[in-house]
Amino acid sequence: MTKADIVSEIAKTTGIDRANVLETIEKFMDVVKDSLINGENVYLRGFGSFIIKTRSEKTARNISKNTTIIIPEHKIPAFKPAKAFMEEVKK
Other Cβ atoms closer than 10 A to 86: 11
Q: What is the pLDDT of residue 2?
A: 96
Contacts of 9 (CB under 8 A, 6+ apart): none
Cβ–Cβ under 8 Å, residues 44 and 23 = no
Cβ–Cβ under 8 Å, residues 43 and 57 = no
Span 48-57, pLDDT tens digits = 999 999 999 9
Domain ranges of the chain: 1-39, 41-91
The architecture that CATH gives domain 41-91 is: Irregular (4.10)
Span 4-46, pLDDT tens digits = 999 999 999 999 999 999 999 999 999 999 999 999 999 999 9
pTM for the structure as a whole: 0.78
